[in-house]
Amino acid sequence: MTFAAWFEYVRANWRKEDGQTMAEYGVVLAVITLGIVATLVLLAGGINGALNSVISKL
């Protein structure tokens, strides 16, 4: 492998963003998960009340 070929290989692979892309997907997934958990926590009382209302009418 010549120096020019090695330099071209390094230059071509320098800007790959595969690892960054996976990290970004991980951050987005974490934010979505936290949003879903927070929503369920906030709605837990209302859901519980609705289920108890249905159970009492049955």
* pLDDT for 17: 64
- Model pTM? 0.53
- 3 or 57, which is more confident? 57
**How far apart, in whole angstroms, are the C-alpha atoms of residue 10 and residue 6?**
6
- Using DSSP, state whether 29 is helix, strand or coil: helix
Per-residue tokens: 4: 């020019």
pLDDT tens digit sequence for 6-39: 778 877 777 766 666 777 888 999 999 999 999 9
Listed in sequence order, the residues at least 6 apart from 42 whose beta carbon sits closer than 8 Å to its beta carbon are none
